[in-house]
Amino acid sequence: MIEEFPRIKRLPPYVFNIVNELKAQARARGEDIIDFGMGNPDQPTPQHIVDKLIETARRGDTHRYSLSRGIPRLRKAICDWYKRRYDVDLDPERNAIVTIGSKEGLAHLALATVGPGDAVLVPNPAYPIHPYGFAIAGADIRHVPLGPKLDDFFAELEKAIKDSWPKPKMLVLNFPGNPTTQCVELEFFEKVVAIARENEIWVIQDLAYADLVFDGYKAPSILQVEGAKDVAVEFFSLSKSYNMPGWRVGFMCGSETLVAALARIKSYLDYGMFTPIQVAAIAALEGPQDCVREIRDMYQERRDVLCDGLNALGWPVEKPKATMFVWAHIPEFYRALGSLEFSKKLLSEAKVAVSPGIGFGEYGDEYVRFGLIENLHRTRQAIRCIKDMFRRDLGQAAQASGG
C-alpha cells in the first residue's frame, strides 16, 4: 500500500533489511550470530562527555527549545576545530551549522536545494543517504561508478557531467569512504573544486571518518582547498570519532549559501538538539582527545585481526587506510552468487552477518562490507567459522569434480 505514495515510490525496499530480518530470525532460534553488519560503534561514549551532558541537564535553564542552527558556542567550537586541524578559517555565523547527526543534515540539505528536474552526481557504490537523500527530494541521480582505481573517477565524472542534461547541480563525495574505504589526498579535492567551479556544480563532501585513519594516513578536508568555500560544504559527525552514534550530533561547514539554505529549512522543521547534548558536543571537540586515539587504535587492531585472518584462510583483502570497515571482494569461487546470496550464505552457514555490497549500489555487487564492530575474540571466532564454510564448499566442489 505505501508504494502509492510518490516519495516512497522512489525508495526501493532497503536491501539490508533482508539480511537483518534473517539475522533476527536466526537469533530468535537461539543462534549466536557474529555481527559485522552495521557501522554502529559498539563502545560507550567517553566519560567526560557523558558527565558534561548530565551536569548540563541538571540545570533548569537548559530544558527549553534550543536553536535549530546550533548554539553559538558550539558553532564556535566547530570553527575552532577546523582551524586547529586544517588551518581553515570559518565564520560561526555564516559558515557553520549544527545538524542532528550528519544523516539528518544531508537529507535536509537535499530537500532545501534540489527538486524535480535537478540532476545530482553520486558515486556508486555509496552510503545510501547520499543518493536517496536527493532522490527523496525529487532529483534525478546520475551514478558515477567508483571502482578500485581512483584515477578512473575523474574520467567517469567528466563523462557524467557531459552526458547529463539538465546540467548536474551537485556532486556528493565521501572520502574516506563508506563502503569502499577509499582515501584521497588534497590534490584530489583540488581537482574536484576546479571541476566544480568550471561546471558550476555544488560539492557536498562527507568527512565522517576523518579520525578513523591508520598507518599515519591523514584525511584532508575539502575546505583546505583555496576557494572551496564558494562551491563546497563538508559534513562531519561526532558519531564515529567519539562513539556518539545515538546522540545524533553532526555539523556542516563551508559555503555560506548552502549553510543559509539548510538553516532556513531546518528553522521550519526542528528546534535544534537538546541543549545539554550541544554542550556535551563542545566538551567532545574541545576536551582531551586521547579518547579519539584509543577509538582509532581499537579499530586498527580489529582491522588487522580481520584482514590477516581472511588473507590467511584464502580470502584476499586489502587493509583499509581509514574508516571502520573492510570492503571485501567476494572470493572468486562464490562471486557468481552476487553479494546478497553470498551474505545470506555467510549468515546461515558461518553464522556471520555482513552487509551485501548491492545495498550500496549495483557497482557494489561483487563485494561485502564488514563493519569492525565485533571485539577481537569474536572476530577470530568469525574467521574460524568462515574458514570452515570455505573448506566444506571447496571440499565438496573438489569431490564433485572427482578431484
Ligand X SMILES: Cc1ncc(COP(=O)(O)O)c(C=O)c1O
Can residue 108 be called a binding residue for ligand X (CB under 6 A)?
Answer: no
CA nearest neighbour of 234 among 82, 35, 18, 25: 82
Q: Residue 350 in contact with residue 311, Cβ under 8 Å? A: no
- The span of 43-51, 96-104, 109-117, 328-336 binding ligand X (CB under 6 A) equals 96-104
Can residue 208 be called a binding residue for ligand X (CB under 6 A)?
Answer: yes
Nearest 10 degrees: CA dihedral of 175, 133, 118, 157?
20
The minimum distance between CB 219 and ligand X, in angstroms, equals 12
d(CA 251, CA 286): 15
Residues from 59 through 88 that contact ligand X (CB under 6 A): none
Q: Which is nearer to ligand X, 208 or 285 (CB)?
A: 208
Residue type, 194: A
DSSP secondary structure letters along 144-158: EE--S-THHHHHHHH
Can residue 205 be called a binding residue for ligand X (CB under 6 A)?
Answer: no
Can residue 174 be called a binding residue for ligand X (CB under 6 A)?
Answer: yes
The minimum distance between CB 128 and ligand X, in angstroms, equals 9
The minimum distance between CB 338 and ligand X, in angstroms, equals 23
Give me the 298-337 binding string for ligand X, x by CB under 6 A, dash otherwise: ----------------------------------------
DSSP secondary structure letters along 227-262: TGGGTEEEEEEHHHHTT-TTT--EEEEE-HHHHHHH
Q: Residue 204 in contact with residue 120, Cβ under 8 Å? A: no
Which residue matches cell numbers 536491501?
A: 15
Q: Which is nearer to ligand X, 45 or 178 (CB)?
A: 178
Among 66, 178, 243, 355, binds ligand X (CB under 6 A): 178
Among 45, 56, 66, 102, binds ligand X (CB under 6 A): 102
The minimum distance between CB 70 and ligand X, in angstroms, equals 14
CA separation, residue 122 to residues 46, 161, 364 (Å): 34, 11, 14
Q: Which is nearer to ligand X, 118 or 206 (CB)?
A: 206
136: number of Cβ within 10 Å: 16
d(CA 167, CA 162): 8
Q: Which is nearer to ligand X, 248 or 351 (CB)?
A: 248
- The span of 43-51, 85-93, 100-108, 161-169 binding ligand X (CB under 6 A) equals 100-108
CA separation, residue 337 to residues 23, 346, 358 (Å): 19, 12, 12
Q: Which is nearer to ligand X, 79 or 207 (CB)?
A: 207
Q: Which is nearer to ligand X, 309 or 371 (CB)?
A: 371
The minimum distance between CB 351 and ligand X, in angstroms, equals 24
Among 206, 234, 365, 374, binds ligand X (CB under 6 A): 206
d(CA 147, CA 98): 33
Q: Order across the sheet with 355-356: list the strands.
A: 325-329, 367-371, 355-356
Which residue matches cell numbers 572476530?
A: 379
Q: Which is nearer to ligand X, 105 or 309 (CB)?
A: 105
The minimum distance between CB 332 and ligand X, in angstroms, equals 28
Q: Which is nearer to ligand X, 243 or 350 (CB)?
A: 243
Among 37, 92, 133, 245, binds ligand X (CB under 6 A): 245
Binding residues for ligand X (CB under 6 A): 39, 101-103, 127, 174, 178, 206, 208, 237, 239, 245, 250
